[in-house]
Each structure stands twice: as structure tokens, then as C-alpha cells.
Chains A and B, each alone.
Chain A
Amino acid sequence: MVDRSAIRMIAITAALLAAGVAAQAFDETKYPNWKGQWVALDGNENSPWDPMRPAGAGQQAPLTAEYQAIFESNLRDLASGAQGADPTRRCIPAALPRVMMAIRPMEIVVTPRETYFMLEQFSTLRRVYTDGRKFPDDFETSFVGYSIGEWQDTDGDGHFDALVIETRGIKGPHTYDASGIPFHKDGEAIVKERLFADKTNPNILHNEVTTIDHALTRPWTVTRSYRRAEQPQWSEFTCSEDPNYVQIGDQGYKLSPEGLLMPLRSGQQAPDLRYFK
């Protein structure tokens, strides 16, 4: 019996060898080796979107007057102790482009038709289609949007070295960073990215991110960079809402040490309890 099986397996082996590796082989050598675990060069949950500039107003985001006023109001709100406009404080995922700060690790998985960005923060999954498709006429918006990418061989050495991505259909609420720099409410932002490895260090990846949005007076380009971990360890991200805060309708409240509701600001009214008898 073993002999018969062995003979059958040898026949199969011969057939596979005859077919060669051409069948449905995915030639990874055409693509850059971005395997492993990538994490932001520096920063944390409160880091600014543009790592080259100070947080808050120091970011010099090219906001329209209307959205600059919204941003300044948000900064005052934060200064008063409120949560501000940052939706991640309520465990709403960091949308694109903010999630690409990668303050927690990310993995990039390349397949011929799609490239996946698996981000630990909020367990976010980005699916970037590289199969040559066009943007569909109609698609459901999401926090990561709908992304189409194209691999490029910029130095002509026969291997792809850059991934160019365009993302549309990004859902709100979302902000660029914890300071609450706002996007336009129309949800029409377009985010263009260009990912490429550092020319001198293959363990550094750069992402040139350009955002085009009606809340901006011009496209805003920021470069985020990531380093590859030598010994990757993955953690599970479980968003924990602020245990001292609760949102009821459009009002936020503090919770006292014993868990009782407290006003967040002077003169704030108690929640309406009309549905209790």
C-alpha cells in the first residue's frame, strides 16, 4: 500500500515538475520585501499629524477660514478639559489618513491583486486593490475608504519599489490627529500616498501622504515614516473608552470615583430621564 502511494506521489511530483513553477506562481521577487512589522519612527496617540511641526496650531494645516474657526473652537474645548473632536477617544477608529501614523505596529501583506495593511490600532484592515480596477461608480464609505494602488518601478531595475495609492470614500467623523484638526464634513477627501523604502536603509519605510479636502485651501503633504521591528511581537488592541467619561446624546459627562454622573462643565444640566418612572 505504501509502495502504491509512493508511486502515485512520484507521478504527481513528476507532473508538477513538468508544469514547472509557471502555473499560478506568485513571484515575490517582483515586489519589495516589506514583510515583518512596521511601526512609526516615533510618537504616540497624542502625536501631531505632521511629525516635523509642533502639535495643534503649530501644525499650520492649510485650513479654510471656516474650518480654522472649527479647529480653534476645538482647541479651546480641549483646554477646558472636554474631550474635543477626536473621535478615537470614544473608540471610533482612526480613519485614513490618521491611521497611517501607525503608532502601533502594522503588517503589509502583498499579493498580486491586493495589498493589505493590517494595523494593530483599532484592528484596522486596509485593502488596497492593485488589480487595475477603476473606482466604482457607487461604493459604501468607510473609515479606511476605498483604495486603489499601483506598483511602480521608479529606478527601472525590473522590480517594483514604490506603491502609489489613491483613497476615496472616507467616512467621518475623523480628524488628522488628537488635536482635532478637522476634515470637511462632505466626506469628499482624497488621500494620495506614495510608499517606498529608504534608499539607504531597507528597514525604514516612507509614506508621502497628500490630502485633498474641501476644508483645506491647498493639498497638504506630510511624510510619515516607519521602522521595521527586528523581533516582531503582536498585541491585541482593545479600545477602552475613558472610564471616567460617558457620552449621552450630544453631551459628555464625567463619572465620579464611585461611578456616578457628574457635570463636565459648570452649569451643565443633568441628562433628561423622562423614560424612567
Chain B
Amino acid sequence: MPHRIAIGLFALVAAFGMTIAGTHAFDDSLYPDWSGGWMRMGSGNFDPSKPRGMGQQAPLTQEYRAIFEASLADQDEGGQGSNPGYRCRPHGMPRIMIAIHHMLFVTLPETTYVLREVGTQLRRIYTDGRDWPANPQPATTGYSIGKWIDDEGEGRYDTLLVETRGLKGGSSYDSSGLPMHKDGGAIIKERIRLDKANPNVLHDEITTIDNALTRPWTVTRSYTRNRNPSWVEYNCSEDNHHVVIAKEDYILREDGLLMPVRKGQKPPDLRHFQQR
């Protein structure tokens, strides 16, 4: 209840301030300072507190646990399993919030943008009070609606609550291929706020509700701030060494020649070429 009062008064202040100034001034002091570049803390496993693969203890259904085990077995043999990222398919939500490269927040009253170096996938988190659209076009980043709250009751927003729907199915949580359901029905809830003791650390408590899970799965990712980051452009397609021919994955060496990804893999069929 106190929070509702606070936000109500913010709105009053904002409205009154606009009347005084006669402008559309955006008072960014009402929002937390999330400027700079944010980079992951901990490992690239989706749950950084647990080991990779089965060690993640993801609460998968039996069906999806079998898919995951097959993915891990394929990766042990040199394949890519059910990791869709290796051929430059976008990582999507919630995987992109691992933040293996810098991410940047741009906060405006109606939208908070999450800008990322990797694959430059953009998240728009609408904070303008809108409702869910009837038929959002599925996307790997989904459709996100957020709400700023004053969790501490200090008279300014400190936490962004986000809910994301409308995801494309078939993503994975991390490079191990830990699978999400193919139906695209996942809902992801996030609670993003600065660490209470260290303003250069940001936490994102991510809860995924998905039909491939037996229960909601909550993981907390954290990020460290670089006040003056050097932004680097990263485009997966520019230097991708994976080639798929007749559904078989091969690797391109630096010298441009094909090589197998697993022991005993047969070469591509060259029947359409004249014999040398």
C-alpha cells in the first residue's frame, strides 16, 4: 500500500512539474541509475550457481529431460545438440540475459530498452501501462511489459518488474542446449534491481514458467557495471565456421577447408561433381 501511495504521488509530482515548466521534461532522477555497460558475473551456464549440463538441475519434464540428455550426448560426440545459437539463430529470452557481452539500459518513461552487443538483439520493455496485444508476433525476445516500483519506499523507483510472453519456441537456456518447450508458451518474469550494498552490481531474478518444466524455475543472474565501456560490435554470421550440408554439420577450418565435427564422420556426397 505505501508503494502505491508513493507512485501515486510521483505521478502527481510529475504532472505538477510539467504544469509548472510547461514542458515534457523527463525527470530521470525518479529512476535508478543503470547507466554504463553491464557484463555478466559468474559462469555462462544459465544458473551460474550450478555446474553445466545436468548439474543445472533444471526441473524438466521427462520428455524434455530426454531431449536434453540427447543434446548433451551429441555435444559429447562433437555435435551441437539442441543449442540453436551455433548457426547464428538469436539466443532470445531468457538466455540473452546471461549477458556474455555488455548490455546497456536506456530508460525513458514509456519504454526501457535493453541493448546488447551480442547479436545486437534489442529488448523493448514497455512501461507505458499498456495491456498485452491480442496477437503479438512471436519473437525470440518475446513481448515485454514492465512496471517500475519503489520497493524501498524511498520516493524513487528502484526495481523494474518485467513479464515477457510471445516467445518463439525451441530456444535453449544456454549453450548446453537445455531446452525450452517448442510450443512458445513460456512466460518469463523478471525482477531487476541494483544490489543494495553495491550500486555497481545489478541483479535480475528470472523466473521461467514453461510447459517443458514441472514447476517455475527461478535463477538469479548478476552483472557488474563498467562506467566507460568500450562497445564492441559482434555479429555471429561474420565469422561462423559451421556449415550444414544435407543436415550434417561440418566445420570450416581457417584455411577454408571442410573438416568433420566428430570422429568417423563421412564427407559430403560429391556425386554432382565431375571426378577429378
Contact = CB atoms under 8 A, between A and B. Distances in A.
Interface stretch (B67-75, B157-165, B263-271): B263-271
A24 B257 contact: no
A200 interface: no
B115 A91 contact: no
A261 B27 contact: no
Interface stretch (B58-66, B174-182, B202-210, B237-245): B237-245
B27 A23 contact: yes
A23 B260 CA distance: 62
Contact of B268 (A5, A124, A273): A273
Summarize B's interface: helix, strand, loop or mixed: loop
Interface of A: 1-2, 5-6, 8-10, 12-13, 15-17, 20-21, 23-29, 90-93, 109, 111, 116, 118, 122-125, 127, 140, 142-144, 171, 233-236, 238-239, 241, 246-250, 255-256, 258-263, 268-276
Contacts of A16: 10, 13, 17, 155
A26 B17 CA distance: 13
A140 B235 contact: no
Contacts of A6: 2, 5
Contacts of A171: 233
Contacts of B238: 92-93
Given A26-B27, A140-B230, A270-B276, 4 more contacts: A24-B27, A122-B235, A123-B119, A262-B273
Interface of B: 1-2, 5-6, 9-10, 12-13, 16-18, 20-21, 23-29, 88-90, 106, 108, 113, 115, 119-122, 124, 137, 139-141, 153-155, 168, 230-233, 235, 237-238, 243-247, 252-253, 255-260, 265-273, 276
A246 B245 contact: yes
Contacts of A122: 120, 235
B208 to A, nearest CB: 19
Given A9-B6, A123-B122, A261 B257 contact: no
Contacts of B245: 246, 255, 259-261
22 contacts: A5-B5, A9-B155, A12-B6, A24-B29, A25-B27, A25-B28, A27-B26, A93-B238, A118-B113, A122-B120, A123-B90, A142-B233, A143-B233, A143-B235, A235-B137, A246-B244, A248-B257, A255-B245, A256-B272, A260-B272, A268-B273, A275-B257
B276 A91 contact: no
A171 B106 CA distance: 26
A238 B12 contact: no
Contact of A274 (B90, B153, B257, B272): B257
Contacts of B258: 248, 271-273, 275-276
Contacts of B137: 233-236
B17 A21 contact: yes
A5 B1 contact: yes
A260 B246 contact: yes
Contacts of A28: 23-26
Contacts of B270: 261, 270-271, 273
B269 A260 contact: yes
B222 to A, nearest CB: 24
A258 B247 CA distance: 10
A10 B13 CA distance: 10
Nearest to B231: A127
B1 A125 contact: no
Given A236-B139, A239-B88, A246-B245, A260 B271 contact: yes
Contacts of A123: 90, 119-122
A10 B9 contact: yes
A13 B156 CA distance: 10
B18 A9 contact: no
A252 B154 CA distance: 62
B273 A125 contact: no
Name, among A25, A142, A239, A274, the residue most crowded by chain B CB atoms within 10 Å (CB to CB).
A25
A9 B120 contact: no
A24 to B, nearest CB: 5
B276 A269 contact: yes
Contacts of B260: 275-276
B257 A93 contact: no
Contacts of B259: 275-276
Contacts of A21: 17-18, 20-21, 23, 25, 27
B185 to A, nearest CB: 17
Nearest to B87: A241
Contacts of B256: 248-250
A20 B54 CA distance: 55
A28 B137 CA distance: 31
A12 B27 contact: no
Contacts of A118: 113, 115, 122
Contact of A9 (B2, B21, B267): B2
Nearest to A249: B256
